[in-house]
Structure 1
Amino acid sequence: MRGSGPESDIVISSRIRLARNLAEFPFIRRCTPQDRKSIEKMVHDRLQAIPGFNTLYYLRVDELPHVDRQFLTERQLISREHAEAEGARSVAIDNDERLSVMINEEDHLRIQVMKSGLDLHSAWQQINEVDDQLESKLSYAFHERLGYLTACPTNVGTGMRVSVMLHLPALVITNQIEKVFRSLQKINLAVRGLYGEGSQAMGDFYQISNQITLGKSEEELIGQVSGVVPMIIEYERKARDFLITQNREDLHDKISRAYGILCTAQTISSEETMHLLSSVRMGVNLGLIDDLAISDINKLFVETQPAHLQKLRGNELDTAGRNIERALYLRRYLQDRGKEHRDERN
């Protein structure tokens, strides 16, 4: 959210996820309710035995109310599937919310590490260490020829998904985004929305990730994604340069209108907020808005999501109530930040 990582004007985050299963149990879809409970208890107990892991926040997802499960999904700490599943399941999260271990998702374990900006190699170093520590206490399902065995065949091998979340508003405005996506698909890279597989792109955010893991090493998968992302960054920056050079007035007008609506709206949906914040975020990066920092916009993207609003308000709200509360939150936040920046200049 601070937007402090490498290339953070365009790359929001880097994430590596590992799928692992325990040798003693069948895959999740073949598990009985008792199997799920046994897996959950085993992993919890083994985590507690690893130095440093006993400080993780450990949450029983199946015991959480809907709004709390949605809250964790909005923070990218659990998947939508994990939030909506049935039976015993949990998640362990570190203090910085960079590491999370989902238990009883599609696989017995889904380990993920997130970093700000384009920082895949740092993410790999951390998750590799975590995986080694877990493997020292747990017996993974592993085949000498195939590698790690997973519920979905596309994850067999390393069990690794390497993904980078990018903000690409200029490529959308200049109608070049589909061309980029077609090129990525030709080299077996997947393009997904804000919340991963099956989700729509909101606020011009896109996740780029590998599609298959079998037959490639972890380093090759990281290299495949990290080798392509700089080219996408270059395309986005060129598109922004084109807009600012050839169409500055129209671009400035579009961004100013978006900012104005966010500052004055009395009711606003999550989807419209994401769309408008996308324009404002680009405006901040291009120097067309100087009252806000990228960290402000990144924060607003998260805290205007439905569950976050309800947690901030302290009670559940229906759709209409959330839209009113969202508009109120945006007005107050943007007015306060604008006043702070004006006071700093004076």
Structure 2
Amino acid sequence: MEIIMARWFENNGPDSDVVISSRVRLARNIRDYNFSLKLDGKSASDMIDKTMTELSGCMEFADYTGYNFKDLNEYQKHAMEERHTISRFLMEQKYAAGLVSPEEDVSVMINEEDHIRIQSFVSGRDMKSAYQKASSADDIIGRHVPYAYHEKYGYLTTCLSSVGTGMRASYMLHLPALSGTGQLAGIIGELGRFGLKMTSVFGEGSSSPGDIYRISNQTTLGLTEQELIDNLDNIAGQIIEQERLGRQQYMKLQQVAAEDAAYRSYGVLRYARKLSLKDALVLLSEFRMGLALGMFGDNIEKGYSVYQLMIGIQPYNLQLACNSRLELTELEVARATFIRNNLPQIV
């Protein structure tokens, strides 16, 4: 009997009421090759083929799924981007390849902005585990591929802001209270003073359907990996507490309105026959906050991950699941059907 592993976004982790995921991304380049942006097609293909040959032979990656863009169609690539297994930058590359773990929590992208981008995800607030996963993959790859490294400056990267550790650490946060009260715009403006930035996952700027945001470090030179993580963790912790306080105040001052919003959203999600992506994300955000605040009692399993629905309703993942190209109305019908089939029942 085949055992199907749950993907990282199908489970919750520590502090999951606010924190969806912890991610670590490492940028590495290979000696004797120009940076990716300077590679011609022949050189890029050569670098990709040699690197994939080396990594595919590693026993530690034996259960990983390998891919090459020359074998994928646009729908498959877009669906991988929606699930965060590849980046938007890689999506735009003509020549690219990589490896993805069964749980999709570790991925290796080849010919991204740097030759190799390693990223790891862990559900909830657990940056230590995310770093350990990325570092382990980095050690394995480093034994087979000669990295471009300088004794004084550290890992050499395409972007100067990544020189040094080459590490980007980030938390994905659900911030409906801070967003709804208008406080988030001020927080975003202040983060630069601490070497951090915040971006919307499903939108632009401080406006994000679904209220999902990513906070990450901007620079890496002159700091150790642990110092970067500690700085991020400290600021993220303050934002998490502000979000929780905002939710508590909302419940205290407007409990009936809060419960009505959560149950009304659940009702629409349960019975709607077609949903736009924006509307579905807004409804799922309200349902997720209600779930985190305990409005549904013991009716819904505490470990249920609403974020898996946010991933599943993305356009290309829906079309892959339906195995057909869908027009807008068909897509909205498929989205509503997917949610109805995967939304937990209130007993």
SS across alignment from 1:137: coil
Give the 5 Å matches for 1:267-278.
Answer: 267-278=274-285
Give the one of 29, 32, 37 matched to 2:40.
32
Give the one of 161, 170, 174 matched to 1:163.
170
Paired residue for 1:84?
92
Q: Which moved more, 1:46-55 or 1:274-283?
A: 46-55
The 8 Å contact of residues 11 and 305 in structure 2, kept in 1 or not, is answered as: no
The C-alpha deviation readout for 1:292-340, integer Å capped at 9, x for no partner, is: 4452522211111111211221211122210121122223434xx32xx
CA distance in 2, matches of 1:260, 1:320: 21
* Letter of the 2:285 counterpart: S
CA distance in 2, matches of 1:200, 1:271: 12
Q: Tell me: CA distance 1:141–1:78, structure 2 relative to 1, closer, same or farther (3 Å).
A: same
Give the one of 137, 146, 157 matched to 2:153.
146
CA distance in 1, matches of 2:206, 2:324: 27
Q: Tell me: CA distance 1:196–1:54, structure 2 relative to 1, closer, same or farther (3 Å).
A: farther
Query: Is 1:298–2:298 an aligned residue pair?
Result: no
SS across alignment from 1:145: coil
Query: Is 1:109–2:109 an aligned residue pair?
Result: no
The 8 Å contact of residues 80 and 195 in structure 1, kept in 2 or not, is answered as: no
Give the 5 Å matches for 1:100-249.
Answer: 100-194=107-201, 201-249=208-256
Instruction: Please report the TM-score for the alignment, with normalisation by the length of structure 1.
Output: 0.92
Give the one of 313, 316, 330 matched to 1:321.
330
The C-alpha deviation readout for 1:202-253, integer Å capped at 9, x for no partner, is: 3100000000111111111111111222111111110010000011112122
The C-alpha deviation readout for 1:58-80, integer Å capped at 9, x for no partner, is: 01124211111111111110011
The 8 Å contact of residues 3 and 9 in structure 1, kept in 2 or not, is answered as: no
SS across alignment from 2:259: helix
The 8 Å contact of residues 202 and 209 in structure 2, kept in 1 or not, is answered as: no
Q: Tell me: CA distance 1:78–1:197, structure 2 relative to 1, closer, same or farther (3 Å).
A: farther
Shift of residue 199, structure 1, vs aligned partner = 10
* Letter of the 1:255 counterpart: A
Q: Tell me: CA distance 1:284–1:118, structure 2 relative to 1, closer, same or farther (3 Å).
A: same
Q: Which moved more, 1:55-64 or 1:24-33?
A: 55-64
CA distance in 2, matches of 1:84, 1:171: 33
CA distance in 1, matches of 2:47, 2:148: 13
The C-alpha deviation readout for 1:95-146, integer Å capped at 9, x for no partner, is: 1211100001111100001101111111112221221221111111112222
* Letter of the 1:82 counterpart: L
CA distance in 2, matches of 1:51, 1:303: 31
Shift of residue 185, structure 1, vs aligned partner = 2.2
Paired residue for 1:54?
62
Q: Which moved more, 1:199-208 or 1:23-32?
A: 199-208
SS across alignment from 1:190: strand
* Letter of the 2:222 counterpart: G
Deviating beyond 6 angstroms after TM superposition, the runs of 4 or more aligned structure 1 residues are 195-200
The C-alpha deviation readout for 1:7-42, integer Å capped at 9, x for no partner, is: 111100000000111111001111011111111111
Q: Tell me: CA distance 1:185–1:157, structure 2 relative to 1, closer, same or farther (3 Å).
A: same
Instruction: Please report the TM-score for the alignment, with normalisation by the length of structure 2.
Output: 0.92
Identity, % of aligned pairs? 36
SS across alignment from 1:164: strand
Paired residue for 2:265?
258
Equivalenced residue count is 337
Unaligned 5+ segments in structure 1 are none
The 8 Å contact of residues 20 and 159 in structure 1, kept in 2 or not, is answered as: yes
CA distance in 1, matches of 2:20, 2:307: 9
The C-alpha deviation readout for 1:188-209, integer Å capped at 9, x for no partner, is: 1010121699897331000000
The 8 Å contact of residues 12 and 305 in structure 2, kept in 1 or not, is answered as: no
Q: Tell me: CA distance 1:29–1:197, structure 2 relative to 1, closer, same or farther (3 Å).
A: farther
SS across alignment from 1:216: coil
Q: Which moved more, 1:290-299 or 1:237-246?
A: 290-299
Paired residue for 2:101?
94
CA distance in 2, matches of 1:61, 1:9: 37
Paired residue for 2:15?
7
Q: Tell me: CA distance 1:143–1:296, structure 2 relative to 1, closer, same or farther (3 Å).
A: closer
The 8 Å contact of residues 274 and 335 in structure 2, kept in 1 or not, is answered as: yes
